[in-house]
Structure 1
């Protein structure tokens, strides 16, 4: 009589993918009797035709580099300066300083500026628009800002408007999004 191990070796190998038991029934019974492993069986996976993997690895996909090193169209500072001047002049030419009115005007003016600058269709730029309005009373004001940016692609535009009652400062920051 042949042992179970010999029978396993003599059996024809399967031709399709699947899995085979790595522990023969004889070995399993012996280990179960020793108390080491109970109801445990490991499997080994195999592949029918290993040549298919070689063909798939040789196929090449053509890749296109879509990374851009900078903007194709730079921020138009002069054009944005004209937008700032026009909007501030149109909204504030005849206005007198009133705190509540100026508070609403800063929001409105910044939204109008942002919409007009977006209409210039500069791709991949993030826009930040800040408008300050204050009372003209012989005092001075100093506004500073700090940013971390790339001077090759990022830029800003600024305009100051004054009339007899108030002053307004509008800044537009354009930061290129990579």
Structure 2
């Protein structure tokens, strides 16, 4: 008798384990049955399934002639190169304009406020987003804008703020503005990096 035959005989002799193994379902079989039951119960109750929106979009795209791998969609969107290596004369990042925007936002939102560490943590993020949007809308295009605001309480301490950048000196620049009160100091920075 071969080794494999001995193993099979040993399993059948130990209480019919072989038949029990056949009766047990694998984990993936149980999960697929469970998901099928869940989907059928959801569809019976009138509720949409979890992937219902995706299925309807795929059906719509298939009706329009697109395949499931979306190759046709990728081919339909083709951008031509512009061969621009620098910004137009009227769309260069203006440091002075950005400084006015930063100082205006900081003064408008922080004037007359008392320092509160919990409130100012969220407020600094909001101010950075607002400054970023206003600089973007100031007439520059093809620039990546990074803005952040730091608000520090005055407690008779010194605070140094530094940054380093690796960029193209002819197109990229930064602007900073400081707003001070008796209780705190707010520093706003904007970095503009041209991308082609």
Give the TM-score of the pair, scaled to structure 2: 0.56
More strand by share: 1
> Deviations for 1:14-46, whole angstroms, at most 9, x for unmatched residues?
xxxxxxxxxxxxxxxxxxxxxxxxxxxxxxxxx
- The Cα shift of 1:93 comes to 1.1
- The Cα shift of 1:66 comes to 2.6
Cα distance in structure 2, aligned partners of 1:105 and 1:134: 12
**How many residue pairs get matched?**
115
Cα distance in structure 2, aligned partners of 1:83 and 1:123: 17
Task: Find out whether 1:69 has 2:85 as its counterpart.
Answer: yes
Give the TM-score of the pair, scaled to structure 1: 0.62
Match of 2:127 in 1: 109
Match of 2:186 in 1: 168
Matches within 5 A, 1:15-164: 66-72=82-88, 73-164=91-182
Structure 1's unaligned 5+ residue stretches are: 1-63
Structure 2's unaligned 5+ residue stretches are: 1-79
Cα distance in structure 1, aligned partners of 2:99 and 2:184: 20
* Distance change in 2, residues 1:141/1:125 (3 Å): same
User: Which has the greater radius of gyration?
Assistant: 1
> Deviations for 1:50-100, whole angstroms, at most 9, x for unmatched residues?
xxxxxxxxxxxxxx9731121112101111111111100111111111110
* Structure 1: 4+ residue segments shifted above 4 A: none
- The Cα shift of 1:165 comes to 0.7
More helix by share: 2
Contact preservation (8 Å) 2:167, 2:193: yes
Cα distance in structure 1, aligned partners of 2:185 and 2:98: 19
